[in-house]
Structures are given as structure tokens and as C-alpha cells.
């Protein structure tokens, strides 16, 4: 786990949870740029803009803490409308609250953003674990 701090905002990155959807990079490249070291530049945008982008993380690998408050991540906020987005060559993202019934009959509640595997190679099916990027998955 890595932490990056600016003016009472700490961004937390859990690399083992990252599915490399590139939402952070594509949405706020001046802050999230894997070609730079460190790859998170907290000085490049406002706290509010960084928080907005972190909230778009589909895997929960990025989260943030505001001045000793609890961690805010995709699991802690909800939306009323459910939106489904197919990521090019990547997972199926479902935004909103959903109840998932697993094949063994167990149920699980998910909120904010859930990334589902489309390549069939994830070790954590039905969820995406980023394997699509290593396998070169293409949805063509």
C-alpha cells in the first residue's frame, strides 16, 4: 500500500487490487501518470478534483482519507441509478447498488463501482483482477 498526501487529503493506492483500467490516468493524467516517479503527483490538481477522480476507480485500489476521517472508497458511496459500461479490452463496469447471487447460492451486496471479468481469465471471477491486461485480451 502506498500513500500520497496534500493539504489534509491522503490518496491510498493498493497495487495488488488494481485492475489497470486506466480510469485514473485517462481522467486526470497530470496527477496519475505511471510513466513518472512517483506516479501520483498530488500538487497537479485541487483536492476536490483528485477526490472526484479517485471515486471513479472501478476496483477500489484507489481510495482517500480526509484529515483522519474514515477511508472513502467506491464501497462507501452509492448511486441511485445503475449504469453499465463496457471498458475497451477490459472489464464490464457496473455503477450503482447491486445484489449479486453467486453460483454457490451466497449473496453479496456491492455499491458504487463493480468490475466484472469479460476475458474469462480472472482468478477472482466473477470480478476482474486485471488479468486481461497481462493476457492481451481484445474484445474485437
Domain residue ranges in the chain = 2-66, 83-135
pTM above 0.75, yes or no: no
Domain 83-135 indexed as CATH 3.40.5: yes
The answer to whether residue 75 scores a pLDDT higher than 80 is no
Helices (H), the chain: 23-27, 47-54, 131-135
Percentage above 70 pLDDT, the chain = 91
pLDDT tens-digit readout, 77-132: 444 678 888 989 999 888 888 888 888 888 888 877 888 999 999 998 999 999 99
Please give the pLDDT value at position 80. 64
| CATH code for the structural domain at 2-66 | 3.30.70.20
Amino acid at each position: 500500500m502506498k500513500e500520497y498526501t496534500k493539504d489534509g487529503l491522503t490518496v491510498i493506492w493498493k497495487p495488488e487490487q488494481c485492475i489497470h483500467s486506466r480510469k485514473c490516468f485517462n481522467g486526470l493524467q497530470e496527477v496519475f501518470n505511471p510513466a513518472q516517479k512517483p506516479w501520483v503527483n498530488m500538487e497537479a490538481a485541487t483536492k476536490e478534483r483528485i477526490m472526484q477522480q479517485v471515486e471513479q476507480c472501478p476496483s477500489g485500489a484507489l481510495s482517500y482519507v480526509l484529515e483522519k476521517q474514515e477511508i472513502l472508497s467506491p464501497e462507501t458511496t452509492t448511486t441511485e441509478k445503475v449504469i453499465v459500461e463496457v471498458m475497451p479490452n477490459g472489464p464490464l463496469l457496473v455503477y450503482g447498488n447491486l445484489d449479486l447471487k453467486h453460483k454457490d447460492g451466497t449473496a453479496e451486496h456491492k455499491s458504487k463501482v463493480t468490475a466484472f471479468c469479460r476475458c474469462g481469465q480472472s482468478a477472482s471471477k466473477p470480478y476482474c483482477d486485471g488479468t486481461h491486461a497481462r493476457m492481451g485480451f481484445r474484445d474485437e
